[in-house]
Amino acid sequence: MLGFLQPIWLLGIAGIVAPVVIHLWNSRQGRVLSIGSIEFLDKISLRKARSRRISDWWLLGLRCLLLILLALLLAGPFWQRRPDRDKKGWVLVSRGAMTAASQVDSLVQKGFQRHDMAGSSWWECFHVLDQQAPDGIPFYVFTDGLLEHFSGNRPVTSRPVFWYVSAPRDSTVQWIQAAWKQGADSMGVITGSSGATGTSYSYRAYGRDTTPVDTAALRVVIYADDKHSRDGKWVEGAVKALQQFTRRNIVVSRRLDGSGKNSVSPVEDPADWVFWLSSKPLNMKAANVLLYEPGPEILTDTWIRGSDIPVEKVTAQTGQWQPIWTDGFGRPLLALEETDSGRRYHFYSHFDPAWNGLVWSRNFPVRIGELLMDQAAKRPGQAKAYDRRVIDPAQVAPSGGNSHQQAPPALKSTIDLSPFGWLLIFLTLLTERILSFKTSKDG
């Protein structure tokens, strides 16, 4: 269906009256005939006459067409098409949406294709499947509503999207109590209920009298050579920020290669953590060691999965270890190697703004904290096992999609016709000039 962004310009089509009037009132110059004598010609009165007949139909038509095309182009033409309403779509199902099994089976029986969403972020999974699916087909998405599964950028799509969110079954009191048993100092729960007579609240506290608080010191050593001295400062700043936020007893020692300027007093070996930011071989003992993976710099254009942190440089991947951080293509950025002497974290990038945007991200201390608190390696996924924060359903559906439980409307796809209009005007003008030149030459 043809449409216009500014239809008022269509009034310009009335301008075709101008070339018609000019064409009709154009006086054609007569030819001079040379004759021998006018003696035998009758004398008649001179009359001035104009031709009211249209000549050069092709030339007049092209000039009128040129004005019509110009008016249409100024009106902003576009072509709007609708896909087939009977066209089936896809059903996207996450592992945490088992309560919607009946709805999923019903859609599959109607001809919808089922696709499982595998990954840590439902938004990232949706973005990948949105790129693979044919244009115009609707998506029915069934996921849980846990906030931890909606990391990264909220996707944008033009297709109809119907996102159904299922809340976790466990209560707030249960997960707060379980989370506190993992080592929290003390916490309490306030629950409220509203009715016709008003709102009532109840409070339940969990004190430190039943679970001891961890007051042991966490010893962290940051070793950086002259080339990576700034990297060490970034890591030290993140650890200190984590220390101030968690009030955890963390003893930080930063050591420099060479002269040792600006170094602080060392801690006793073995340390709990060592950040070995150097190309030299490791010569310190620690239960956990993070070290730069050696190798040539490789330029890339990706991001850390689960965030919007860009990555510009990496080193070659050498081992088949457990990935902790991955890039947008699923390749490891930080990998864990379990050894007899402890854990070795191989980092295929650097804590440097020239390599990635990690050190400038507000999530940098959080990432470091997940490593130091043994949440990302010793018990993968355990850090978020008791996180039952639920995202608002209004914030789940991608921008441009629909989250209603109605029949999906047909997707309107538009095509801008302006480039074709300019091309047609150019060809029309070129043809008009050729015919005009030929007509004047013949006359």
Query: Which range of residues forms the domain containing residue 367?
Result: 223-377
| Average confidence (pLDDT) over 220-230 | 89
Structure-token pair, residue 38: 């006018």
Contact (CB, 8 A) for 181 and 213:
no
Same domain for 366 and 435, yes or no, is no
My answer on whether omega of the bond before 296 falls inside 30° of 0, hence cis, is no
pLDDT band at 12 (very low <50, low <70, confident <90, very high): confident
Same domain for 324 and 403, yes or no, is no
Pairwise CA distance, residues 223 & 278, whole Å: 7
| Average confidence (pLDDT) over 341-366 | 91
pLDDT at 194: 55
Same domain for 437 and 365, yes or no, is no
| Average confidence (pLDDT) over 200-225 | 64
Nearest Cα to Cα of residue 353 among 364, 341, 345, 343: 364
pLDDT band at 382 (very low <50, low <70, confident <90, very high): very low
Same domain for 369 and 428, yes or no, is no
Is 173 domain-assigned?
A: no
Same domain for 247 and 320, yes or no, is yes
Pairwise CA distance, residues 397 & 407, whole Å: 16
| Average confidence (pLDDT) over 126-154 | 84
Question: What is the percentage of the chain residues whose pLDDT exceeds 70?
Answer: 67
pLDDT at 31: 58
| Average confidence (pLDDT) over 303-326 | 88
| Average confidence (pLDDT) over 347-360 | 93
Higher per-residue confidence, 286 vs 1: 286
**Arithmetic mean of pLDDT over the chain:** 75
| Average confidence (pLDDT) over 22-32 | 61
Pairwise CA distance, residues 348 & 304, whole Å: 12
The pTM of this model reads 0.43
Same domain for 64 and 107, yes or no, is no
Same domain for 367 and 432, yes or no, is no
Same domain for 346 and 433, yes or no, is no
Same domain for 246 and 356, yes or no, is yes
Is 196 domain-assigned?
A: no
> With 60 as the cut, is the pLDDT of residue 397 above it?
yes
CA dist 268 → 102, 177, 207, 286 (Å): 60, 37, 34, 10
pLDDT at 41: 57
pLDDT at 434: 83
Pairwise CA distance, residues 182 & 213, whole Å: 10
Is 284 domain-assigned?
A: yes
Nearest Cα to Cα of residue 29 among 441, 443, 439: 443
- pLDDT per position as a tens digit, 247-306: 778 888 888 754 444 444 444 456 889 999 988 888 887 889 999 998 889 999 999 988
> With 70 as the cut, is the pLDDT of residue 123 above it?
yes
Pairwise CA distance, residues 33 & 334, whole Å: 98
pLDDT band at 22 (very low <50, low <70, confident <90, very high): confident
Question: What is the percentage of the chain residues whose pLDDT exceeds 90?
Answer: 16
Is 293 domain-assigned?
A: yes
Pairwise CA distance, residues 158 & 68, whole Å: 33
pLDDT band at 407 (very low <50, low <70, confident <90, very high): very low
pLDDT at 186: 54
Same domain for 357 and 270, yes or no, is yes
pLDDT at 310: 93
> With 70 as the cut, is the pLDDT of residue 218 above it?
yes
> 15-19, 168-172, 251-255, 317-321: lowest mean pLDDT where?
168-172
Pairwise CA distance, residues 409 & 183, whole Å: 51
Same domain for 332 and 249, yes or no, is yes
**C-alpha distance across the termini of the chain, in Å:** 45
pLDDT at 346: 93
> Among 80-94, 187-201, 212-226, 394-408, which range has the highest average pLDDT?
212-226
Higher per-residue confidence, 292 vs 415: 292
| Average confidence (pLDDT) over 150-160 | 84
pLDDT at 274: 92
Is 332 domain-assigned?
A: yes
Structure-token pair, residue 365: 């201390």
Is 257 domain-assigned?
A: yes
pLDDT band at 400 (very low <50, low <70, confident <90, very high): low
Is 62 domain-assigned?
A: yes
pLDDT at 381: 43
pLDDT at 425: 87
Residue type, 70: L
353, 377, 401 — which closes off a domain? Answer: 377
Contact (CB, 8 A) for 242 and 368:
yes
pLDDT at 243: 84
- pLDDT per position as a tens digit, 90-100: 999 887 665 67
- Using alpha carbons only, how large is the chain's radius of gyration in Å? 38
* Structural domains of the chain, count: 3
pLDDT at 48: 47
Same domain for 406 and 422, yes or no, is no
Is 316 domain-assigned?
A: yes
